[in-house]
Amino acid sequence: MLYPDVTPHATGWLSRDDGHEIYWEEVGNPDGIPVVFLHGGPGAGISVNSRRFFDPQKYRVILLDQRGAGKSTPFGRLENNTTDHLIGDIEALRENRDIDRWLVFGGSWGSTLALAYGQAHPENVLGFVLRGIFLCRETEIAWFMDGMGRFFPEAELKFIEIAGFQKNPGWQKLLDRYDDIFAGKEGEDIAIEAARVWSAFEATCCTLLPDDGLVEDFEGDQIALALAKLEHHYFVNRGFFEPDQLLRNIGRISHLPVIIVQGRYDVVCPPTSAFSLHAAWPGSEIFVVDDAGHAASEPGIVRELVRATDRFDGSRFAGK
């Protein structure tokens, strides 16, 4: 159900005062409904398929690689890389592209960032389409480090062995150990291999059915090195949020329309977070895909995301 690929009609790098250069691209109808695509990770970057959830005749689609990811530079840089920095980049890009208000579309970490951006700048948002909800609570970080491996123990074994353990020592100890590795204390080769193992572990857990192609993509240098380092960086810092911040501040955006799409068997971001968000947001709509996990590429997830963007008329989600 994805729309055909479209070639960007504009691309560029947004220069920031602290030395980061944020890659962006624009596709679709220049006079259409503006929408910004926020990728997951953090660190995953955008892809060709990121453009294809939107009718190119209806939407003006803005996509960006977040700090340290994809084509943004410096690649993998942790300095000046916080949620507030990312929010500032999104807002600067909105102004740069001369957009008044836009729909915000994000999945996984992209859903986290979408909520944080919306709560910082609700006056600039038309609504939300969110997938695979991650609220960056400590319980969710703990689950990633010492929970989802219960469903994929063979993948988890590599994840803990590269860190020097025979069994999972607990999420905080494992997170601390990866801190040493990514800081280069074990050497650059081990840091690179650990990044590949981290990313492959996540990719293995992403889909309901095995997807070797996805795992292979995540193990590649362009994704693995940024994804693992940036995810770890944001986990260590609890997303740079106060406890339960995104739910506590939901009143700032609860007047805006939202559709939540969630895989029933999402092992990376279990459905409990999506239902917590739905319960806190009056008027929110949630669609649970009973034959899907976490990945945006799974057919049922694609179907509901495209249905959501098709329904949006610029101010609300019309019909069902």
Q: Which residues are identified as catalytic?
A: 108, 266, 294
Q: Terminus-to-terminus CA distance in the chain, angstroms?
A: 17
Task: Assess contact for 63 and 93: CB atoms under 8 A.
Answer: no
Angle between the N-to-C axes of helices 83-96 and 109-120, in degrees from 0 to 180, rounded to the nearest 10: 70
Cα 312 from chain centroid (whole Å): 21
Residue 173 gets the label, from left (phi > 0), alpha (psi -120 to 50) or beta, of alpha
Q: What is the SS3 assignment for 126?
A: strand
Question: Sign of dihedral through CA atoms 247, 249, 253, 254?
Answer: positive
Give the whole-angstrom CA distance, residue 3 versus residue 17: 36
E strands, the chain, where? 10-15, 21-28, 33-38, 59-64, 102-107, 125-131, 258-263, 285-289
Task: Assess contact for 298 and 207: CB atoms under 8 A.
Answer: yes
Amino acid found at 167:
K
- The neighbouring-strand residues paired with 308 are none
Give the whole-angstrom CA distance, residue 288 versus residue 19: 41
Give the whole-angstrom CA distance, residue 201 versus residue 197: 6
Radius of gyration of the chain (CA): 18
